[in-house]
Structure 1
Amino acid sequence: MTEQRLGKMLMASPKKTLVQNLWKMWLCCSVAVLFATTGLAQASLSSNVMSLVELQSAVTAHGGAIRSFQVAGVVCAVARERRMLVLQDKTATVLLELPALEDAINAGDQVTVKGTNCSIARGRFGIQIPQAVVNNDRRHSALLKAGSIFLEAGLQPICLEWFNGGSDSALSLEYAGPGGLRQKVSGDLLCRKPKPGAVPDEFQSGLDFAAYNGDWSLLPDFAGLTPVATGVATNFSLAYRARTEQTALVFNGFIKIRDAGVYTFYLTSDDGSRLEVGRPTISCTVEPGTTRAVPAPETFDEALTDRSRNHWIQLEGEVAFAGEGQGNLEMDLVERGNHLPVTVLDGAALLATN
């Protein structure tokens, strides 16, 4: 973009589009809110009805937690493709990133979000309730990332995705259970369900795997791709890849969990990888007959009077800079001499046309 344009951050209807020289976009602005980055809290095993400010405080205090919770509020905005919604109650306004988001949820709906022993964490834009236990995506050299989840005893579904661009490659998965030592996930912990009609109709050792070839900079949507090879693997091993470069693997099966509790998984990969374990324990439902007007946004000046919490605001300013960053539209907005960094979560259309 070569010229400066007037930008407007409008916290109102998510269906607004670009109109002449006015940019109308969604954003939940965090005004002077700092999140701590200490370790993961212990699991809370009982249901917990709480306000949004209490949920936010749980993340602020620990940087993340595993707990059961129930929150309710009015939807201010929905970024459906990103599975994000901005939720407001009497105590706070929070941007939630959920594992899934129903198409029926719209701005103005009164919704209830329930989670049972869920992992909640500080995200770049708000509170994440991630689907993945470990997200180690994008191209990089061998990198270790870890994540924790509460698992019930028994067989729990497990899915590991991995890809490699070029040059070196690596993949390793370890875990530590309640009171246990960190160790490699061994093959005797893994099993798979046979295809329909197979005899015997019982779980068998190993994992289902699918191998893919392609040139990616991050993990693709494998559901839309055709594998070049499939079969049964004994463990999470690169021996099943179709070639050494520009390739990917997806492993699916079950892991045997002896004791219920918090399990930490350690995923090392080169290049990217993602691990999902367990069944979904989060829901977001609309309360019937509760749809109402979208909450009115505050002004920037009103938000500045209380810097201890997030605010849902509207402001106008001059766009001094605009560019792409991690798939989002990043802008520098000048408002009465104040330079404000702005991220437009649904900015793909603006990026394409400007």
Structure 2
Amino acid sequence: MNRASGKPVIYLDHAATSWPKPNSVLEAMRHSMLEEAANPGRGGHRMAIAAGRVLMRTRMELARLFGISNPSDIAFMPNTTAALNQAIKGLLRPGDHVIATMIEHNSVRRPLEYMRQEHGVQIDYVQVDETGKIDLLQLKSLCRANTRLIVCNHSSNLLGNVLPLTDIAEIARSRGAFFLVDAAQSAGVMDIDVGASGIDMLAFPGHKGLLGPQGTGGLYIHPSIDLVPLIHGGTGSQSEEANQPSVRPDRYESGTPNTVGIAGLGAGVRYVRSEGPAAIGRREWELTQSLMEQLSSVEGLRLLGPQLGEPRTGIVSFTLKGMDSAEIAFRLDRDYGIAVRAGYHCTPLAHHSANTSISGAVRSSFGCTTTRADIEALIIAMRDIAASV
């Protein structure tokens, strides 16, 4: 069992951010801060060069992980939200049409709705069933001559379902649209190959399944796509020009980067690659199955997402009849030392699809450090709480 603020804690909130991080991540950040914390690309002295190498090494690790041929097609971002905003706002123009799904996070929905209100972009949302299964026939029927982008998450942060990226990419390709994937819940726990899957842009966090620190993430941009940068400014390159550089990744990385955080991200990616994303995901899936089997017999408890035996990421969300989700999470924390997430999880469309718009839901989510003992503790706690309703 881990400890936080001096007290034991069973941490089951990895879908929000992974914790604790591998020691190698902490060591990489400490080394960077002590030895390499100059400004990369902003000088020719040895520390600035060393800092630049930190960024390049991490970029190369990410390229190997995601099957990206040119590491310079990866732009570092502070989080997935920033990456999605760069992709959506940098690509779309007035009159364009976008297709998303009913299980998108607000990091997709809100930029899209902004583009609708301010720039006349047209949006359709594909229906999903209660388990998160997408209607591919409806997706095809929604495509128009002006459909420029199809965007979806790889896995819902509420339901844990896994969308068929290759099938969706094929539909996008056949209609001449670009395909953007939100990998907030899948990066590091599922094998992702952008070329094999037909992904044009991939937004990912550094602080979740990749085990890096908060404040890190990135966006892969296919070399055929030129996004309008959201931020213009100093890049350390082409400083004599008034316009933003066209060279990658500088075009999308204005300002001093989070070098120390990126050093930690690089260590996290190396850890993930050594373990293997598929192996990590398999362990998490096995924990979800064990939890679901036990919770399915708790009276009044409803499990969300795919059924037993079906693919899902390490997320198990549920409701309990007669009790608000926030109260359940409060009691789990106070009485059992279990950290989960309750409420609407920044994904109201998914709650609409799951018929939990009124109650919200409790979300437990697993990571590399989650054990069967952690799962057993949650099962015991939920049986106690359910018996008290």
Q: What TM-score bracket applies, with the shorter chain setting the length?
A: under 0.3
Structure having the larger proportion of residues in strand: 1
Q: In terms of Rg, which structure is larger?
A: 1
Q: Which one has the bigger helix percentage?
A: 2
Normalization by structure 2: what TM-score? 0.23
